[in-house]
Structure formats: C-alpha cells, structure tokens
C-alpha cells in the first residue's frame, strides 16, 4: 500500500460501508411513496401506506417485532449481567468463556434449527422423556415452534445474542478495574452480585451501550430466525416485508417499501424508548446504590444466572448434536431417543447441492472478508500514522449499518439496482455483505492493533525500515493471531447473512444459508440437518484455523504464543 | 473471647510451600505494623483476614474478631474494613454517593444525608458531597476513602500500603488522621507497609517479616 493511497482509505471505507445503507434508504423512500419507474409506477402518493394500514395483520406484526426485539434485549442483557456479576473470576465462568468463540460463530439459522429440533413436540427432549415420563406414544399436538406469541422466537434470539453481549462485556471489563472494585465492595459488606451491579455495571454499561442497541435493532428486524422459529399468521413485520418483496407484482413491492419505512421508524422509536429506560434505570439505580442495601438475594440470583447461561449454551451445543443425529438418521419413529437406523443417504443425496452452495458461500465470504480486512488495516494504519484516534462519533458511524434494520434498506437497495438496470447477482451481493462484515472485522481487529507496542516501530525505524516495511514485516506478523481472528469473524458474519444474499442476489445466488432457510417450509428434517451442519462448519472451521495457524507458524516463538 | 482481632497461629502457603506466618492479638485501638520488602506476602496475609485469598494460596490457623471466629465467613460478612494504596473511589458516583454506598442501610434520606455531611466534616471536607471524585486532590481522596470505609462500621481496619501513593508531607497528615479515627472508634488496626516511618508513627508493635 503506497502512502498516497493510505490517507483516502478511511473515506473509502465509510463510502462502501454507509453508501449502500444510504442508497438503500433512498431507494426505499421512493417506492414507499408510489414511485417505481422500473414498474411503470410514478408517484408521489400515499397509496402504499393506505394499503399497509388496511392490511389486517399489521397490529400483530408490529407487536411481534416490538416484543421480540425488546424482550430479547432485556432478557439477554439481564442474564449476561447477572452471570458476570455473580461468577466472573470463577472456574465455572472460565468454562463458559472457553465456549464463547464456538457459540458465537454458530450461524443464527443453524442455532434456530437446532433449538427447533430440541424443543418441538416431536423434538429430542420430548423423545428422551417419552414414553417413560410423559406417557406419549405420539407427539402432542402443541404449537411450540412458531407459536403465535413468538415466545420461541424470543428464546432462540436470547440464546444466540447472549454470547455476543458476553463477549462485549468481557472486552469492557478490562477497562473497569472490576477486581479491585469487588475487593472494596466486599470489604464494605456487599455480596458478589449486588456489589458488582452497584460498582461495575454502570461503568460496563456505558461501554457496551452500542452493542446493546445492535441487539435491540437486530432482534426487531431479524428474518431468518423468525422464519424458522417465529409465527406465520401473521409473521413479524420483517418477515412480511420479505414476503411482499418476493411477490412478482409491483404493488406488493410498494407495500414492502412502506412497511420497510415503518420498520425503520419502529426501530428508531424503540431505541429512543430504550434510551429513556436507561435514564430511568440510572435514576432508580443511584437511589438503590446510595440506600446502602447490601443485597439479600444474591445467592438465588447467582444460581439462576448460571443455570440460565448453561441452558443457553447447552441448547446451542445440543442443537448441533441433534442436527448431526438427524443428518445421519434413517427411519426414526417417535418416542425412540435415537434413530432406528443410521444411513449416509441424506448426505449423498444433498452432496451436489451442498458442495455448489459451499463453493458460492466460500467465494463470497472469502472475497468480502479480504476486502474488509484490507480496508480495516488501511484505516487503522492511517489512524496510526496520522496519530488520530477514532472519536465517539466515528464509532457510531461504524455501528450505523448494524443499527439500521436490514429490512429497512435492503429492499430499497434492490429496487434501486432494478431501477438503474444493474445486474443483480454475485457482485452486488458481495457489496451488500461488506456493509455488515466491515464493522465486525474492524471492531475485532482495532483493539489488538492499537494495543501493539509501538516501540517496536521505533526500533525498526531506527534500523532503517520504512513505514510500509514496518507494517508488513513487523506489525502484521506480530499481529498474526488477531488478524486471523478478525478474518474468522468476517467469514462467519458473511456465511450467516441471509437477507442481503436473498434480496440483492434476487434468488439467483444460492449460499448455504439461503438454501438452509429455504428448506424451512418443506420440513424435511434430514435435509435441514445436513445444510444446517454445513453452514455451521463453514463458520466454525475458520475459527479453528485462526487458533491453529498462529500456533504452527510461531511454534518456535514463545513471546508470540499468547497473542 | 477478647475484643479485638486475633490471628491465631496463621501460616500461609503458596503452592504448598510456607510463605508467611503470624500469631498475634491486636487489642481495640491498637495498631500492629507488619513490615517487610515487597513480594514477601504481606498483602496475602491481609487477604486471609478479608477472606479473599487467591486460589494459588492456602493457610492454616484461625482468625477471630471480637470473639467471633470469622475464618470461614463470607468476605462481606466479616466486618473487616480495608484501605488500599489507591483510593479506589468509584468514578461513576459523586463523593456523597460514594459515602452513601458505604453507609449501612436504614434511616430516612435526610438522616442519611446528614450522616454523610457529618462524615465529610469530620475530615474537613464539609460541602464536598456533590463533587466528582476525579476533581479531588490525592489527600482529599484518601480521606473520603477512609470515611467510606468507616461508615460501613467495620470491627477492624486493615491498611494495605495505604499511604504508599502520597508524598511525604501529605503522608504524615493522612496517616495521623487514619490512626486517630481508628483509635476514636476503638478499632484494632493491622497495617502492612515497607516504610519504617509508617510503623514508627503507628506507635504499636512492629513485626518484621523475611528476616
């Protein structure tokens, strides 16, 4: 990278990250007001909004979107905070910590399938308890998965968002001196949980606020998990938007665009509501802190938090196990805990399709991650050479693509591409993936990159190395482990993308995720299991490599073995 | 049993190897100074009393406080106060809220506020309740940290190199204040330090480790 290129990299990064978002929002606004030249429709008018208001499912749809988003965020945040409050520094906590990376990298869709296969009336749990405990010889006629209130959807989201919030909390804890705060609180007579909540939580929350907002926005607008675990009649608003986008006639597209704007307004409203909640909690919290109450219910809270976290971790891991069992199962009659016969038939039958999709997935994920990595390193190196640090506002820009609901701007981006007659397909899909991959790669690499001891650069420069030479020959080799971790994060984010692939690919780009989710309606458990496992593998293998490669490359370099 | 803090044949081991040992009774209002170079295990000794001994260590012996055997009690139930080298005031709370955090629960808001004002006045910081701890000088922070600990009404006070970060002039002043407040409350004080002047100023018995 020449020095002439480097200074423009941050601007370029912002452009590729925020350009599609802004263009997409613009492309959503026009058809929402009846303007879609490609379909011969010319606005502006309010017909689409009238049609949206006339849709009988709207109140339920909006309600589901709100309850899923807010419920997921409140529950996941509360459980993670109580877990860290009651257990950080203990052996049980370290065990959960080690599971964090694999749990994080399991794609949302695969985790949702696994959960469905566990808790459905004919799922593994029912099979293990039947007929011995339950007395069932046939699966009961209960609507657990896709229940009308969306409770299973919320459960699935909580389980999958907890590892993300835990990771963010652990990163924030490093800057809060939590251990000594605990020593003081305990000398003043406070138990673990209460002491932590009163002394550390306020400081940690200030650091994880943006990730919490991301969970809220994502929970309100998630599509793939909602398709698998959420109700159908009506579905959450985001799913309905995608359905309308999939209909061939253009008025449905207008309807989808107006609903997308409503979705955006809902998310913005929910974020403002959450901010208000923060202020109320802060006021009440200060009163609680200064009341001097030492906390009497610490012990039950600790046990509840650890149990909930363990169940969440187990439900993802056991979900993968049950996917594996189903993928190799032959005939499997109901109350039996294991299949009556095992076979490779499903894997053989799906192999061609799976391998094609794996190739497409790898091509997209690899290219997008490479681009994201180059831009990220360019940004960080430019920041380092210009001695300018990312401001709070810059950080907000980085989070913007994660805070604006996908369903708000992706339909618009598709309409826009349609209007300009651009070919939808692989390249636009990659650009859409980049919007989501970039922030995660950046967030993953930024801290280790900045923490690098710059005296190494001074020494290298004194020995005659150029700035570029220092970057390539000293800094990046020393940062091999965090760079590979960032690559793994980027790959897993790309592998998990459903909506950008579906909408921008126009149904012509078939990745592991789009094909797996498409199988939901068919209900072929064996096929779903194969695709879900492959999807998980595609996300998980890079993480394993990110651990193994540095250990091999630096096997004779003790100073680098701890990253 | 006697009032005061008793370290009954305490011996601390690291990975099974003997580290430090101490057998002593500290009467109310008295100060025991434990001296020795850094790394000898002075702070580890204190963590036996507070109940926060790190996992790599183990110990034998019993700890009694005012006749109670607190050896196996949870840290927060021991009523043992401790001051560290750093003031460790919580940065997200005002000076007053830091003190309210230490003050035992109960009483109306007005009554609690009065007690906090009194506590501040006791260390010449009247009117500081709404200040941000970050705007205080080192000596002022140390005094707030002391009063926060005393408002929790401990039965013993431990000092873990508590004056190590203060410059010489301030050090003597804060030190005298801490000993005076502890004596007025008849608290047994266990101080670890590497500074002979601290031990001298304490006026009590001195145990030197590592000789």
**In terms of Cα–Cα distance, which of A543, A542, A545, A515 is closest to A530?**
A515
Percentage of chain B exceeding pLDDT 70: 99
Q: Are A111 and A156 within 8 A, CB to CB?
A: yes
Report chain A residues whose CB lies below 8 A from the CB of B84.
Answer: 180, 183-184
Phi-psi category of B15—alpha, beta or left, where left has phi over 0 and alpha has psi -120 to 50?
A: left
Mutate to test the interface with B, among A290, A297, A299 (most CBs of B within 10 A): A290
Looking at the DSSP assignment, which residues form a beta bridge with residue A36?
Answer: A41
Q: Is residue A281 part of a domain?
A: yes
Residues A460 and A314 in one domain: no
- Which residues are CB-contacts of A457 (< 8 A; sequence separation ≥ 6)? A470, A474, A475
Q: Which residues of A416-450 are buried (b: 16+ CB within 10 A; e: fewer)?
A: bbbbeeeebebebbbbbbbbbbbbbbbbbbbebbe
Last residue of a domain, one of A300, A327, A342: A342
Q: Do A291 and B100 touch (CB under 8 A)?
A: yes
Report chain A residues whose CB lies below 8 A from the CB of B105.
Answer: 291-294
Q: Does A88 touch chain B (CB under 8 A)?
A: no
Q: Does A198 touch chain B (CB under 8 A)?
A: yes
Q: Does A293 touch chain B (CB under 8 A)?
A: yes
Residue of A nearest to B91 (CA): A203
Mutate to test the interface with B, among A175, A184, A192, A202 (most CBs of B within 10 A): A184
Residues A286 and A416 in one domain: no
Residues A253 and A386 in one domain: no
pLDDT at B211: 62
Helix (H) or strand (E) holding A90: none
Q: Is residue A38 part of a domain?
A: no
Give the helix ranges, DSSP H, for A230-344.
Answer: 237-246, 250-290, 298-327
Q: Does A283 touch chain B (CB under 8 A)?
A: no
Report chain B residues whose CB lies below 8 A from the CB of A190.
Answer: 76
Q: Is residue A484 part of a domain?
A: yes
Per the omega criterion (within 30 degrees of 0), is the bond before A234 cis? yes
pLDDT at B33: 95
Helix then strand then coil, in percent of chain A rounded to 5, is 75, 0, 25
Q: Do B76 and A189 touch (CB under 8 A)?
A: yes
Instruction: Give CA–CA dist A258/A52, Å, rounded.
Output: 7
Last residue of a domain, one of A308, A342, A376: A342
Taken in order of first residue, the domains within chain B and their CATH numbers are 5-208 (3.40.50.300)
Instruction: Give CA–CA dist A267/A495, Å, rounded.
Output: 25
Q: Does A190 touch chain B (CB under 8 A)?
A: yes
Q: What is the pLDDT of residues B44-95, one digit of tens each?
A: 999 999 998 888 899 999 999 999 999 999 888 899 999 998 888 999 999 9
Instruction: Give DSSP secondary structure letters for chain B.
Output: --SSEEEEEEEEEETTEEEEEEEEEE-TT-EEEEE--TTSSHHHHHHHHHT---TTEEEEEEEEETTEE-TTS-GGGS-EEEE-SS----TTS-HHHHHHHHSPS-S-HHHHHHHHHHHHHHTT-TT-TTS-GGGS-HHHHHHHHHHHHHHT--SEEEEESTTTTS-HHHHHHHHHHHHHHHHHTT--EEEEES-HHHHHHH-SEEEE---
Residues A353 and A445 in one domain: yes
Q: Do B88 and A180 touch (CB under 8 A)?
A: yes
Instruction: Give CA–CA dist A58/A91, Å, rounded.
Output: 48
Q: What is the pLDDT of residues B87-105, one digit of tens each?
A: 889 999 999 999 999 999 9
- Which residues are CB-contacts of A489 (< 8 A; sequence separation ≥ 6)? A440, A441, A444
Phi-psi category of B6—alpha, beta or left, where left has phi over 0 and alpha has psi -120 to 50?
A: beta
Give the helix ranges, DSSP H, for A452-553.
Answer: 455-462, 467-470, 476-478, 480-496, 499-504, 512-518, 525-553
pLDDT means per 10 residues, chain A with 563 residues, are: 76 93 93 84 87 95 96 98 93 90 92 96 90 85 90 97 95 85 91 94 95 97 96 93 90 93 97 97 95 87 95 96 95 89 93 95 97 96 85 87 94 84 82 96 93 90 89 92 94 95 90 95 92 95 90 83 55
Give the B-side interface with A, CB within 8 Å. Answer: 50-52, 74-77, 79-82, 84, 86, 88, 90-93, 96-97, 100-106, 112, 148-149, 152, 154
Residues A4 and A89 in one domain: no
Residues A501 and A353 in one domain: yes
Residue of A nearest to B90 (CA): A199
Q: Which residues of B121-146 are buried (b: 16+ CB within 10 A; e: fewer)?
A: ebbebeebbebebeebeebbbbbbbb
Instruction: Give CA–CA dist A88/A79, Å, rounded.
Output: 13
Residues A337 and A456 in one domain: no
Q: Do A186 and B76 touch (CB under 8 A)?
A: yes
In eight-state DSSP terms, residue A422 is P
Residues A367 and A327 in one domain: no
Q: How many domains in chain A?
A: 2
Which structural domain, as residue segments, surrounds residue A358? 1-30+344-563
Report chain A residues whose CB lies below 8 A from the CB of B154.
Answer: 187
Give the closest of A187, A195, A290 to B81, CB-based.
A187
Residues A2 and A93 in one domain: no
Distance from CA of A207 to the nearest CA of B (A): 13
Q: Are A390 and A11 within 8 A, CB to CB?
A: no
Q: Do B149 and A188 touch (CB under 8 A)?
A: yes
Instruction: Give CA–CA dist A481/A488, Å, rounded.
Output: 11
The 10 Å Cβ neighbour count of residue A557 is 11
Report chain B residues whose CB lies below 8 A from the CB of A204.
Answer: none
CA B71 to chain centre: 18
Residues A212 and A240 in one domain: yes
Q: Is the dihedral of CA A416, A422, A423, A426 positive or negative?
A: negative
Q: Do B100 and A289 touch (CB under 8 A)?
A: yes
Distance from CA of B165 to the nearest CA of A (A): 16
Report chain B residues whose CB lies below 8 A from the CB of A187.
Answer: 50, 75, 80-82, 149, 152, 154
Q: Is residue A41 part of a domain?
A: no
Q: Are B143 and B125 within 8 A, CB to CB?
A: yes
Q: Is residue A43 part of a domain?
A: no
Give the closest of A185, A187, A286 to B80, CB-based.
A187
Q: Does residue B1 surpass a pLDDT of 70?
A: no
Residue of B nearest to A202 (CA): B92
Mutate to test the interface with A, among B76, B113, B114, B153 (most CBs of A within 10 A): B76
Instruction: Supply the pTM of this predicted model.
Output: 0.91
Instruction: Give CA–CA dist A90/A79, Å, rounded.
Output: 17
Give the closest of A191, A206, A291 to B76, CB-based.
A191
Q: Is residue A40 part of a domain?
A: no
Distance from CA of B104 to the nearest CA of A (A): 5
Looking at the DSSP assignment, which residues form a beta bridge with residue B22?
Answer: B10
User: Cα–Cα–Cα angle for A10, A11, A16, nearest 5°?
Assistant: 100
Report chain A residues whose CB lies below 8 A from the CB of B90.
Answer: 181, 199
Q: Does A199 touch chain B (CB under 8 A)?
A: yes
Residues A11 and A112 in one domain: no
Last residue of a domain, one of A305, A326, A342: A342
Q: For the domain that residue A400 is a member of, what is the CATH number?
A: 1.10.3720.10
**In terms of Cα–Cα distance, which of A499, A486, A538, A476 is closest to A372?**
A486
Distance from CA of A391 to the nearest CA of B (A): 21
Q: Does A10 touch chain B (CB under 8 A)?
A: no
Distance from CA of B81 to the nearest CA of A (A): 5
Residue of B nearest to A293 (CA): B105
Q: Is residue A180 part of a domain?
A: yes
Residue of A nearest to B108 (CA): A291
Residue of A nearest to B74 (CA): A191
Instruction: Give CA–CA dist A410/B197, Å, rounded.
Output: 71
Residues A321 and A432 in one domain: no
Q: Do B88 and A191 touch (CB under 8 A)?
A: no
Instruction: Give CA–CA dist A295/A462, Å, rounded.
Output: 58
State the ipTM, two decimals: 0.87
Looking at the DSSP assignment, which residues form a beta bridge with residue B31?
Answer: B189
pLDDT at A553: 87
Q: Is residue A37 part of a domain?
A: no
Q: Which residues of A97-124 are buried (b: 16+ CB within 10 A; e: fewer)?
A: eebbbbbbbbbbbbbbbbbbbbbbbbbb
3-state secondary structure at position A342: strand
Instruction: Give CA–CA dist B153/B144, Å, rounded.
Output: 15
User: Cα–Cα–Cα angle for A287, A291, A292, nearest 5°?
Assistant: 135
């Amino acid at each position: 990278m020449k020095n002439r290129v480097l200074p423009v990299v941050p601007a370029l990064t912002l452009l590729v990250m925020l350009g599609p978002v802004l263009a997409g929002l613009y492309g959503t606004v026009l058809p929402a007001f009846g303007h879609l030249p490609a379909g011969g429709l010319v606005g502006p008018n309010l017909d689409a909004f009238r049609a949206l208001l006339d849709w009988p499912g709207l109140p339920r749809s909006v309600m589901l979107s709100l309850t899923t988003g807010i419920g997921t965020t409140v529950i996941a945040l509360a459980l993670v905070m109580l877990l860290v409050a009651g257990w950080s520094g203990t052996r049980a906590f370290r065990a959960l910590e080690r599971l964090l990376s694999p749990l994080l990298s399991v794609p949302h869709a695969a985790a949702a399938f696994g959960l469905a296969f566990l808790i459905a009336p004919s799922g593994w749990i029912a099979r293990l308890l039947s007929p011995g405990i339950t007395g069932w010889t046939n699966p009961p006629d209960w609507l657990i998965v896709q229940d009308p209130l969306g409770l299973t959807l919320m459960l699935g989201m909580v389980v999958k968002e907890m590892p993300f919030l835990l990771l963010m909390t652990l990163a924030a804890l490093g800057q809060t001196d939590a251990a000594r705060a605990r020593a003081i609180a305990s000398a003043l007579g406070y138990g673990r949980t209460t002491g932590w909540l009163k002394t550390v939580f306020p400081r940690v929350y200030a650091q994880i606020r943006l990730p919490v907002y991301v969970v809220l926005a994502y929970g309100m607008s998630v599509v793939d998990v909602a398709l698998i675990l959420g109700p159908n009649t009506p579905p959450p608003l985001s799913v309905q938007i995608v359905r309308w986008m999939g209909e061939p006639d253009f008025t449905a597209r207008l309807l989808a665009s107006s609903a997308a704007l409503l979705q955006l307004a809902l998310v913005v409203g929910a974020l403002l509501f959450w901010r208000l909640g923060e202020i109320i909690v802060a006021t009440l919290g200060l009163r609680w802190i200064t009341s001097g109450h030492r906390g009497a219910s610490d012990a039950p809270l600790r046990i509840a938090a650890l149990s909930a976290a363990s169940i969440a971790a187990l439900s993802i891991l056991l979900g993968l196990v049950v996917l594996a069992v189903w993928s190799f199962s032959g005939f499997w009659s109901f109350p039996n805990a294991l299949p009556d016969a095992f076979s490779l038939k499903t894997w053989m039958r799906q192999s061609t399709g799976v391998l094609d999709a794996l190739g497409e997935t790898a091509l997209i994920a690899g290219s997008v991650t490479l681009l994201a990595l180059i831009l990220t390193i360019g940004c960080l190196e430019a920041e380092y050479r210009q001695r300018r640090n990312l401001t709070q506002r810059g950080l907000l820009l980085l989070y913007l693509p994660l805070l604006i609901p996908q369903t708000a701007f992706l339909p618009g981006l598709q309409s826009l591409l349609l209007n300009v007659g651009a070919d939808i397909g692989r390249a636009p899909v990659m650009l859409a993936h980049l919007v989501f991959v970039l922030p995660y790669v950046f967030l993953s690499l930024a801290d280790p990159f900045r923490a690098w001891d710059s005296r190494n650069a001074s020494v290298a420069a004194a020995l005659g190395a150029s700035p570029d030479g220092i970057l390539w020959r000293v800094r990046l080799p020393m940062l091999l482990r965090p760079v590979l971790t960032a690559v793994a994060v980027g790959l897993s984010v790309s592998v998990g993308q459903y909506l950008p692939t579906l909408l921008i690919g126009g149904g012509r780009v078939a990745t592991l995720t789009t094909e797996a989710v498409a199988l939901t309606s068919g209900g072929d458990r064996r096929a779903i299991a194969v695709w879900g496992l492959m999807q998980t593998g595609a996300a998980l293998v890079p993480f394993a490599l990110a651990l193994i490669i540095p250990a091999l490359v630096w096997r004779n370099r003790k100073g680098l073995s701890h990253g | 049993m006697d009032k005061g803090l008793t370290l009954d044949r305490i011996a601390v081991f690291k990975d099974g190897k003997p580290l430090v040992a101490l057998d002593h009774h500290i009467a109310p209002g008295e100060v025991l100074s434990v001296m020795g170079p850094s790394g000898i295990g002075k702070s580890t000794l204190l963590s036996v009393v507070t109940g926060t001994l790190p996992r790599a260590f183990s110990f034998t012996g019993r700890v009694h406080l005012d006749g109670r055997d607190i050896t196996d009690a949870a840290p927060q139930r021991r009523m043992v106060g401790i001051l560290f080298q750093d003031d460790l005031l919580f940065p997200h709370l005002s000076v007053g809220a830091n003190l309210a955090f230490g003050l035992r629960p109960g009483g109306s808001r007005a009554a609690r506020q009065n007690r906090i004002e009194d506590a501040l006045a006791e260390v010449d910081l009247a009117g500081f309740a709404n200040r941000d701890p970050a705007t205080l000088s080192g000596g002022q922070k140390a005094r707030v940290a002391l009063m926060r600990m005393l408002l929790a009404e401990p039965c013993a006070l431990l000092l873990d190199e508590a004056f190590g970060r203060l410059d010489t002039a301030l050090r003597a002043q804060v030190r005298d204040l801490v000993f005076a407040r502890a004596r007025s409350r008849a608290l047994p004080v266990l101080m670890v330090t590497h500074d002979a002047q601290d031990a001298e100023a304490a006026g009590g018995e001195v145990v030197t480790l590592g000789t």
